[in-house]
Amino acid sequence: MMVYVECYADKLLVQVLGVPGHLVLHARCKGNVMNGLRRAPCGLGMVDEDPGAAQPQEMSNYCLLSQLQWTVRLIHTTQPQRHLIVLKPRLEDWLYHCAGAAKLDPSRFGLPDTPAKLRDKPRFDKSPGFHNFLRALSEVSPELQTLRRWVHDILHLNPA
């Protein structure tokens, strides 16, 4: 089963959560994530909510399965082997919300003090500080720990 993600930072996130890189496909945009899921017999997509932006029509085929404060797990209404995880409102904001709730300061890892400033950095996913931040956050954030459990359950991976 493949995991379709919008960007390289999403790809790094799911890899930090224990998904082997060969199972993760960088789809470049939400529409491509949804198209990949639509074409596959089974799969997992991870996208940003992107409030105010147009949403792919395919998203209307998914219904709520579980919800956390900033994370939503959806399942396809007629193809239950297709799952979608939505990070609210955008990856960078989501990470900083999770970090704030876990009392983890992103600046300790050389990252900007706001999600908007992080978003302005091209390819911030290549920064060792970002990788270290994700690893540390995955250890202390209940939201990321639940996300890890969801991903492992969907993909039938052994717990990390």
Q: Above pLDDT 70, what percent of the chain?
A: 99
* Structure token pair of residue 91: 């990856």
Nearest 5°: the CA angle 139, 69, 56 is: 105
- Over the stretch 110-132, which tens digit does the pLDDT of each residue have? 999 999 999 999 999 999 999 99
Instruction: Print the domain residue range for 63.
Output: 2-155
Residue 146 lies in a domain: yes
Cα separation, 81 vs 42, in Å, equals 5
Nearby residues of 79 by Cβ (< 8 Å), 6 or more positions away: 41, 42
Helices (H), 40-159: 91-101, 115-120, 128-140, 142-155
Per the structure, the count of domains in the chain is 1
Residue 39 lies in a domain: yes
- DSSP calls for 45-76: EEEE--TTS---GGGGGEEEEEE-SSEEEEEE
- Over the stretch 102-113, which tens digit does the pLDDT of each residue have? 999 999 999 999
Residue 19 lies in a domain: yes
Its pTM stands at 0.95
Residue 160 lies in a domain: no
Residue 87 lies in a domain: yes
pLDDT of residue 37: 97
| pLDDT for 46 beyond 60 | yes
Residue 94 lies in a domain: yes
